[in-house]
C-alpha cells in the first residue's frame, strides 16, 4: 500500500520568482509550495497527490475539494501538501490511517469478474521516483531503459496448470469481457496454451504470466486516441520460479512470438537528479502528437543483490507533470 501521508522533513527551500509569500519546499523527491516561514529540517506531514482527505477541521483549508491534485502555482509545479508537524513520530511514520486519508481511484469500466487476482502472481505496480531518492543515489550510473507509461488498465494473462486466466488489477474476468476478447484477438491466449493441446504456438510447458496495459476507446479517457482496444506487454512472470524475466530474456521470449510490448523510449545511465528524470518523462507519446503519461525505468542488466525496491524489483515510474495537469487528476 502506498503511504499517502507520512512524517517527512523539509530538505531544501527555494524561492519562487515574483512570489513574496510562498516558497518551494523539497520533501523526499517531491516539491511543494508552502507559505514562507518554514525552515529546512522542519518536520511536516507530507500528503501526496491522489489523497482523499476527510472533511474536518484539519483539512478545512481544502474547501471540500474531492482529492489532492498536482497544481501549478506561479509557474511551478506543486505536488501534494505539507502540514506543519510538531509531534515526536520519526521521519517515515505512516500517517495515512490516523488522518483518515484514502486513495482516489479514477472511475473504471465495470467488468464481470469470476474471481480474485491469483495470489501466486504479483500485482502490477510502480513506485514513484520521488519516493525512492536514496535508491536512486545508490544505483546512480546503472544503465537503464525507459518505456512509455500507458494510461489504461492493468492486465495480467496467465496460465497455471490447465487454466488460462485474464485479470484486471484486482480481479479475474470471464472470457466474454473486452479484456479477454482483446487478449484472444491478439493471439495471447493461444500463446499461453499448453504444448499438449496440439496448438502450434504452445511451445512452452511451464506456468507463466504476461502483464501489460489494456488501452482503447473505453479505457481511462483513451488518451492514445485508439479506435480499437489493445494490450501492450511490459512484464513476463515465471510462476514456477516465482520471478520476473529480465529485460533480455523478455525481449527474446516475446519477440520470437511477435507479442506487442510497451514502446521503448530511450536508454541512459540512472541519475538521482529528480528534475532530470522528470525532464525525461516530459514529451509526446509514441502514439501521436499528445503528451505521454510518463515513463517506467528499469535496468538493462539484472542487478546482483538488489535490495530496497518494493517487491524486490528495480522498476519505477516518473509521471509527466504536463500530462497530469492536462488530465486534471
Length of the chain: 329
Q: Report the residue from 68, 224, 296, 318 that binds ligand ATP according to the rule CB under 6 A.
A: 296
Which does residue 213 bind out of ligand ATP, Mn ion, none, counting CB within 5 to 8 angstroms by kind? ligand ATP
Q: Which stretch binds ligand ATP (CB under 6 A): 89-97, 121-129, 179-187, 277-285?
A: 121-129
Q: What is the distance between the alpha carbons of residues 153 and 109, in angstroms, rounded to a whole number?
A: 9
Backbone φ and ψ for 8, nearest 5 degrees, come out as -140, 175
Closest listed residue to residue 324, CA positions, set 84, 130, 139, 36: 130
Q: Report the residue from 117, 191, 234, 323 that binds ligand ATP according to the rule CB under 6 A.
A: 234
Question: Does 329 sit near Mn ion (CB under 5 A)?
Answer: no
Cell of residue 321, nine digits: 507533470
Q: Which stretch binds ligand ATP (CB under 6 A): 142-150, 179-187, 193-201, 279-287?
A: 142-150
Q: What is the distance between the alpha carbons of residues 291 and 134, in angstroms, rounded to a whole number?
A: 29
Please give the residues from 51 up to 80 whose contact with ligand ATP meets the rule CB under 6 A. Answer: none
Cell 523539497, located at residue = 26
Evaluate whether 59 touches 51 at the Cβ level (below 8 Å): no
Which does residue 296 bind out of ligand ATP, Mn ion, none, counting CB within 5 to 8 angstroms by kind? ligand ATP
Q: Report the residue from 42, 50, 207, 219 that binds ligand ATP according to the rule CB under 6 A.
A: 50
Q: What is the distance between the alpha carbons of residues 54 and 66, in angstroms, rounded to a whole number?
A: 9
Q: How far is CA 166 from CA 103, 106, 107, 201, in A?
A: 25, 21, 20, 18
Nearest approach, Cβ of 124 to ligand ATP (angstroms)? 3
Nearest approach, Cβ of 316 to ligand ATP (angstroms)? 10
Judged by the rule CB under 6 A, the positions of this chain that interact with ligand ATP are 2, 50, 124-126, 128, 147-150, 154, 213, 234, 262, 296, 317
Amino acid at each position: 500500500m502506498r503511504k499517502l501521508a507520512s512524517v517527512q522533513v523539509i530538505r531544501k527551500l527555494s524561492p519562487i520568482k515574483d512570489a513574496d509569500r510562498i516558497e518551494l519546499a523539497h520533501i523526499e523527491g517531491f516539491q511543494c509550495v508552502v507559505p514562507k516561514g518554514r525552515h529546512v529540517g522542519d518536520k511536516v506531514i507530507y500528503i501526496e497527490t491522489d489523497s482523499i482527505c476527510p472533511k474536518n477541521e484539519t483539512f478545512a483549508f481544502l474547501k471540500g475539494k474531492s482529492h489532492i491534485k498536482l497544481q501549478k502555482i506561479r509557474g511551478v509545479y506543486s505536488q501534494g501538501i505539507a502540514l506543519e508537524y510538531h509531534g515526536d513520530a520519526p521521519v517515515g511514520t505512516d500517517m495515512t490511517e490516523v488522518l483518515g486519508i484514502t486513495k482516489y481511484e479514477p472511475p473504471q469500466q465495470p467488468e464481470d469478474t469470476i474471481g480474485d487476482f491469483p495470489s501466486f502472481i504479483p500485482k502490477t505496480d510502480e513506485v514513484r521516483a520521488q519516493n525512492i531518492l536514496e535508491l536512486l543515489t545508490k544505483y546512480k550510473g546503472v544503465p537503464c531503459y525507459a518505456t512509455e507509461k500507458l494510461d489504461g488498465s492493468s492486465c495480467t494473462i496467465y496460465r497455471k496448470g490447465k487454466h488460462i486466466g485474464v485479470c484486471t488489477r484486482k480481479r479475474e474476468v470471464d472470457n466474454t469481457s473486452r479484456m479477454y476478447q482483446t487478449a484472444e484477438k491478439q493471439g495471447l491466449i493461444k500463446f499461453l496454451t499448453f504444448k499438449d493441446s496440439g496448438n502450434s504456438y504452445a511451445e512452452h510447458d511451464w506456468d507463466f504470466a504476461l502483464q501489460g496495459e489494456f488501452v482503447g476507446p473505453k479505457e481511462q479517457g483513451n488518451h492514445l486516441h485508439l479506435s480499437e482496444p489493445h494490450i501492450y506487454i511490459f512484464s513476463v512472470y515465471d510462476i514456477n520460479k516465482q520471478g520476473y524475466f529480465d529485460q533480455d530474456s523478455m525481449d527474446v521470449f516475446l519477440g520470437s512470438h511477435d507479442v506487442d510490448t510497451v514502446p521503448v523510449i530511450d536508454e541512459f545511465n540512472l541519475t538521482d537528479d529528480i528534475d532530470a528524470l522528470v525532464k525525461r518523462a516530459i514529451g509526446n507519446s509514441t502514439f501521436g502528437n499528445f503528451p505521454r503519461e510518463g515513463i517506467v525505468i528499469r535496468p538493462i542488466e539484472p542487478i546482483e543483490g538488489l535490495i530496497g525496491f518494493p517487491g524486490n524489483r528495480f522498476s519505477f515510474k516518473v509521471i509527466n507533470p504536463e500530462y497530469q495537469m492536462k488530465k486534471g487528476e
